Structures are given as C-alpha cells and as structure tokens.
Chains A and B, each alone.
Chain A
Amino acid sequence: MEERPIKESARPEIVVVIDDEYPIRLSCEKILTKMGLRAETFEDGACGLDGVARLKPDMVIVDLKMPGISGMEVIGRVHEIDPLIVIIVVTGYATIDTAVEAMKCGGYDFLPKPFSPDELRLIVNRGLERRRLALEAARHELEQTMLKRRFVTFVSHQLRTPLVAIHQYLDVLRNLDETGDTEARRREWLDRCLARIEELQDLIKDWLTLARVEGGTLFKERIRIDLNCLVADILETYEQTAAAAQVSLEAHLPDNHLLVAGDRSCLSVLFDNLITNAIKYNKPGGKVTVSGSESRGEVVIAVADTGIGIAEKYRPFLFEEFFRVKEDGAGKTGGTGLGLHICKQIVSEMGGTIEVASEAGAGSTFTVRMAAWHDPEAEAGSKSDERQEANIDCG
C-alpha cells in the first residue's frame, strides 16, 4: 500500500511503548523516532496506562508478559480510553495460544521477540495505516450524521415556511382594525394564503414521490412503454396551462414509435416534470418542443424551451434536491426544488442519463437517454409490424 504523506500541520503520530525490558524500550524509541513518529516509553502497565490516558496515542506497543498489570489487561484498558488505538502485542513467548488470545482481546498484530528493526517498521506502518482508515471512517460517519441532521432541519424549514406565511397573514388580519382598505387587503391576503397552501401541497407531493422513487416503490415494473403516446398524453393535459401562459407545445417524434422498457408512472412523472418546467420557465410567445429519435438501441428524448435559460454557474447543481435558481424571473416562480432531482433519480433507476444544455436568456434543453425496448421474441418477426401495432395502441 502506498504510504500516505502526513499533513504538514498535523501533529506527529504518537506511539506508546510499554515494556519492562530497557533495551527493547530504547531500540523501539530510536526506530520510531527515526520514522518521524513521537515515541513515549513506559516500564510497566500502570505507568503505561497513565501515559495512554494523557497522550492519547495512535498506537500502543505492549509486552504481554510484564510484572504488575498484565499485557492482556492493558489491551482492554487502552481500548476503554480509545477503541480506535491500534495495539501491537510483543512477547517472547510466541505461542499460537497467546497470539490468538491477544487478538481476541483487541490486539491488532503480533510481534515475537526478538524482532528486527525492519519487522517493527513494517508492522508499525501497517498499524498506523489502519488507524488512519479507522479515523477517516469515524469522521465520515460524523459528517453523515451532521448532514442528516442538517437535512432534517432543512426539510422542516421548507415545510414550515409556507405555513408561517399563512399563519402570519391570518394572525395579522385578526389583529387589523376595521379600517377602509381592510377588505381589499383581506381578499389579497387570502389569495396569497391559498397560493402558499398549494405550494405546501406540491412540496409534500414531490417529497412523497421522491421517497417512493428512492425507496424503489414507484418503480414497479419494466414493461414496454410507447413514448410517443405518453408524451402526447402529457402535452394534451397541459394544453390549457400552456395556452394561458401563451406558450405553444410541439412534438417532433418519429413515425416509428419510440419504445422503451420502463415503468409507466415513473416515465409519466419524468416527462410531466420536464414538460411543466418547460412551460413554467418560458416566456409569453415561447415554445416547448419535445423531440425524439432512436439509434443503435438508444432512445433520446429532448424537451426544449425558449425560456429564461439557466446560467452556467447553476447547471452543476440543477439536479440536486431543493436546489432553486434564485435569479430574475426564476425566483418568482413557485417550485419545490425537487422536480429535477426526482427526474434524475428516475432516469438513473432506469439505467439512463439526463443532461441539460442551456443558454441564459434563450432557453434550455433537457435530454434523456435510455435503452430502447428490446423484445427477443419479436426479433424473429417483422419489426415494422410491432411498430404498427404500437401506432394503433396510441389512439
């Protein structure tokens, strides 16, 4: 294994040596110091344990057979101080039994006396590497815990924000005097409350969808799905919404219907999200174009809008949960920040990819790639017949 360079700012690693033989202590200290480590030596278990408690070392090298507290007991007590300290057991009585016993008690490795400097160096390096890995794992676990806690805080905040706004409006309304403009304000605020309730509903809906996608319960089956039909259905659903936003919807899909293997509800959520985004982040007079093609067993579907676009700096974060572009028009449009994250999860669940190309101010194109439907039984028969059949299904 490659040796990891010790960070300049980091303290030298500390090794405590507990051995009743002076020559062993002396030679260990010399070798370890030469290795760039800080070595501290003790002549019996009691002093050694005091030293371990005080120095918080990375490694303890302990003689198994000493007067006073035995080496076995030292191992247990060291691990009470810090379970991540790596312990190397040294003994002149190198029997299999003692070795096994020492390992059982938590020793990391075993060094029979007499040992050469090379043997010591090798075993110490291996032990310290183990210690570094253990520390890193512990740090990682702490980070994960912190992240999780942060995330819980964040989600609670997202859920509470609309509730707070509604509550505050209602509370202030209740405390308002019956003066002239109250009625107009009351109406306006009630509308705002309703909008915020909708926002909360959307958030909970998306949150549940995400949980289902991540928990694997939304993805129920892998069946043949005709994307021409699926997209046509979604476009039809949003005709009115698009018209109200003065956005036109177009589909340019090949006559040979695009077929993929996937789950119907997953694919519906995916293209629903992409198409509603394309309408929402568009401009009056703008256009949403869904185009598709198939080549070499891969289906490519692109949802393009002529809207506000996404600045390059935001693009790397676009598919992260709760990421929202806060700029110009985008910030004013309501959204949960979960839609694209859900899309990404769905696409990767199906073994595909999703990417975005955009020009700020000119529009964005989201491109989904996934494997085309492959039916081994149909291989033998005529492919165009099957397509024809799909065509009929759609109507």
Chain B
Amino acid sequence: MSAKVLLIDDDSDFRAAVKSLLEGHGYTVLEASSGHEGLRMVLAHKPDVILLDVMMETSAEGYGVTHSLKFEDEYAAFRQIPVFMVSSIEESPDERFPMSADVDEIRPDRYLTKPLEVPEFLRLLERTVGAPHGAAA
C-alpha cells in the first residue's frame, strides 16, 4: 500500500496542485479544509505524514492541530505521525506566541515555506515515509 499523505489547508487550489503532484508520484492523498476536519481524518485514516497549513479560518489554526495531536488522549496513538507545517509567511511559533511557555510542545517536525519547492519536497517526503509504490516518475 502506498504512503498516505494528509493535506490540511483551506486553499482548495493549493490542495489540488499538491494532491496532483503527490498522486503522480504514487502517494495516496487525503484532503481536509480545516483543522477540525484534519483531526477527524487523522482518527479515521491514520495518515503516514501530515502537511499542515498554519493560517486557515483562524490565524493559528495549524497550531491548534499540533496542540491536539500532542496533548489530547484521543490522538495518543497518532502522536508519532510526522507533521510538516506550511505557511506563506516565514514565522516561527516563538514569534507567534512570545509569552507561551509550552511553545516547544506545539512545534511541528518541520517548517516548509509555500509555495513548495517540488523536487526538494518530494525528496523530503521520500526520506520521511519511504519511496511510494508505483511511482510514476
């Protein structure tokens, strides 16, 4: 079975482009347009890697997702799923939450800047979840 990538992003065009790219390279792609929907998909489908947008309906919705994954019991079994956070604004959670002590806890595994550099992004995915089956290229 091919590796499952969950895309959590409120921009359907961004999802469409990335989905097409990943499917072309043999990955299975799941889509969610909000943090809540993304968390439901995590429970239902146990993805191998999560690509997570920061600013969705609310300006820090992505961090809400990493927070739930780290702290809520419901997601205990999914805590190890690698999370790549994507944003068009280069900004770390230290800047976003200057007063917060537990900022380390909501740090994702990796930050990526939008738009994604295609070859680099594909290499990163392959290193993270292994080469997909039935890769087209």
Give the docked Cα–Cα distance between A171 and B91 (Å).
Answer: 23
Q: Is A168 an interface residue (CB 8 A)?
A: yes
Known: A185-B20, A196-B13. A172 touches B89 (CB 8 A): no
Known: A172-B18, A172-B21. A160 touches B88 (CB 8 A): yes
Q: Is A147 an interface residue (CB 8 A)?
A: no
- State the majority secondary structure of interface residues on B: loop
Whether A161 and B88, one on each chain, are in contact in the complex, defined by CB atoms closer than 8 angstroms, is yes
CB contacts (< 8 Å) of B89 on chain A: these are 153, 156-157, 160
Q: Is B17 an interface residue (CB 8 A)?
A: yes
User: Which chain B residues in 1-56 approach chain A with CB under 8 Å?
Assistant: 11, 13-14, 16-18, 20-21, 24, 55
Give the docked Cα–Cα distance between A160 and B53 (Å).
Answer: 13
Give the docked Cα–Cα distance between A153 and B96 (Å).
Answer: 10
Q: What does the 1/0 interface line of A296-340 toward B look like (CB < 8 Å)?
A: 000000000000000000000000000000100000000000000
Known: A150-B59, A160-B89, A177-B136. A165 touches B13 (CB 8 A): yes
Give the docked Cα–Cα distance between A179 and B21 (Å).
Answer: 13
Give the docked Cα–Cα distance between A326 and B11 (Å).
Answer: 12
CB contacts (< 8 Å) of B17 on chain A: these are 165, 168-169, 171-172, 189
Known: A168-B18, A175-B21. A326 touches B57 (CB 8 A): yes
Interface size class of A (residues with CB under 8 A): 20 to 34
Among A157, A164, A326, find the residue whose CB has the most chain B CB atoms closer than 10 A: A164
Give the docked Cα–Cα distance between A176 and B118 (Å).
Answer: 11
Whether B118 and A164, one on each chain, are in contact in the complex, defined by CB atoms closer than 8 angstroms, is no
Known: A175-B118, A177-B24. A165 touches B14 (CB 8 A): yes
Q: What does the 1/0 interface line of B92-133 toward A look like (CB < 8 Å)?
A: 000000000000000000000011111100000000000000
Min CB–CB distance A237 → chain B (angstroms)? 29
Nearest residue (CB) in B for A149 is B95
Give the docked Cα–Cα distance between A192 and B99 (Å).
Answer: 40
Q: Is A113 an interface residue (CB 8 A)?
A: no
Q: Is A167 an interface residue (CB 8 A)?
A: yes
Min CB–CB distance A30 → chain B (angstroms)? 38
Whether B115 and A167, one on each chain, are in contact in the complex, defined by CB atoms closer than 8 angstroms, is yes
Give the docked Cα–Cα distance between A150 and B136 (Å).
Answer: 42
Q: What does the 1/0 interface line of A169-191 toward B look like (CB < 8 Å)?
A: 10110111101000001000100
Determine which of A175, A179, A192 lies in contact with B16 in the assembled complex, contact meaning CB atoms within 8 Å: A192
CB contacts (< 8 Å) of A169 on chain B: these are 13, 16-17
Whether B88 and A157, one on each chain, are in contact in the complex, defined by CB atoms closer than 8 angstroms, is yes
Among A157, A179, A192, find the residue whose CB has the most chain B CB atoms closer than 10 A: A157
Q: Is B137 an interface residue (CB 8 A)?
A: yes
Min CB–CB distance A181 → chain B (angstroms)? 10
Q: Is A154 an interface residue (CB 8 A)?
A: yes
Determine which of B13, B18, B55 lies in contact with A157 in the assembled complex, contact meaning CB atoms within 8 Å: B55
Give the docked Cα–Cα distance between A33 and B114 (Å).
Answer: 59
Whether B115 and A168, one on each chain, are in contact in the complex, defined by CB atoms closer than 8 angstroms, is yes
User: Which chain A residues in 136-168 approach chain B with CB under 8 Å?
Assistant: 150, 153-154, 156-157, 160-161, 163-168
CB contacts (< 8 Å) of B116 on chain A: these are 168, 171
Q: What does the 1/0 interface line of A271-311 toward B look like (CB < 8 Å)?
A: 00000000000000000000000000000000000000000
Give the docked Cα–Cα distance between A96 and B59 (Å).
Answer: 57
CB contacts (< 8 Å) of B18 on chain A: these are 168, 172
User: Which chain A residues in 115-131 approach chain B with CB under 8 Å?
Assistant: none
Give the docked Cα–Cα distance between A2 and B59 (Å).
Answer: 40
Nearest residue (CB) in A for B54 is A157
Q: What does the 1/0 interface line of B49-73 toward A look like (CB < 8 Å)?
A: 0000001010100000000000000
Whether A164 and B114, one on each chain, are in contact in the complex, defined by CB atoms closer than 8 angstroms, is yes
Known: A171-B118, A172-B17. A164 touches B88 (CB 8 A): yes
Give the docked Cα–Cα distance between A119 and B118 (Å).
Answer: 75
* 7 pairs of A and B residues whose beta carbons are closest in the complex: A165-B13, A167-B115, A160-B88, A168-B17, A168-B115, A164-B114, A172-B21
List chain A positions with a Cβ less than 8 A from chain B. Answer: 150, 153-154, 156-157, 160-161, 163-169, 171-172, 174-177, 179, 185, 189, 192, 196, 326
Report 25 cross-chain contacts, Cβ distance below 8 Å, ordered by A residue.
A153-B59, A153-B89, A157-B59, A157-B87, A160-B88, A163-B88, A164-B11, A164-B14, A164-B114, A165-B14, A165-B17, A167-B115, A168-B114, A169-B16, A169-B17, A172-B18, A174-B118, A175-B21, A175-B119, A176-B21, A177-B136, A189-B16, A192-B16, A196-B13, A326-B57
List chain B positions with a Cβ less than 8 A from chain A. Answer: 11, 13-14, 16-18, 20-21, 24, 55, 57, 59, 87-89, 91, 114-119, 136-137
Sample of 11 further A-B pairs with CB below 8 A, known A165-B17, A172-B18, A177-B24: A154-B59, A157-B59, A161-B88, A164-B11, A166-B13, A168-B18, A169-B16, A171-B115, A171-B117, A189-B16, A326-B57
